[in-house]
Amino acid sequence: MGFMTNVNGPCFMARAAVPAMLAAGWGRSVNISMNHQTMRRRGFSPYGPSKAALGTETIVWAQELAGTGVTVSAVLPGGATRTGMIPDDAPAELRASQLDPQVIVPPLVWLASPASDGLRGHRLVAARWPAGAGDRAAAEAAIDDAGWPVA
């Protein structure tokens, strides 16, 4: 189920939406990512590997759509988030440190706007998006490579 949702779902959505974006000469595809550590965490299969595949898709699609006005990027919370994936019996300090899922809203809105023109094939780490900073400065603080870091 994880691969169908996290890999095939975005692929089918892109196939449906990108032609209209190309015809308009502008559009945004924003994928929801996760930390590299979580992608490799014990017990997170197939979810973690499916998000690793989506990170690679983000980079590939960004390259394929370069110069069209359509960009592909990703956003991730940047830490353990209150989404139900951390079990109730996890250590109290872990549960207390979980991010509010709303943390992704400011970078997500920015990525979907014309202000993000030119940014493609990257991801924004929402926990690094400084409150009160201008959008461009906040994006610079939050930007990271999509997919796997190149050594």
Q: Note the pLDDT tens digit of each residue in 52-77.
A: 899 999 999 999 999 999 999 999 99
Which stretch of 42-51, 83-92, 112-121, 135-144 has the lowest confidence by average pLDDT? 83-92
Domains (range + CATH), the chain = 2-145 (3.40.50.720)
pLDDT tens digits, residue range 18-32?
999 999 999 999 999
CA 39, 45, 51, 57 torsion-angle sign: positive
Contacts of 57 (CB under 8 A, 6+ apart): 7, 10, 11, 31
The whole-number pLDDT of residue 135 equals 85
Is pTM, for the whole model, over 0.75? Answer: yes
The whole-number pLDDT of residue 126 equals 94
Strand partners, 30: 73
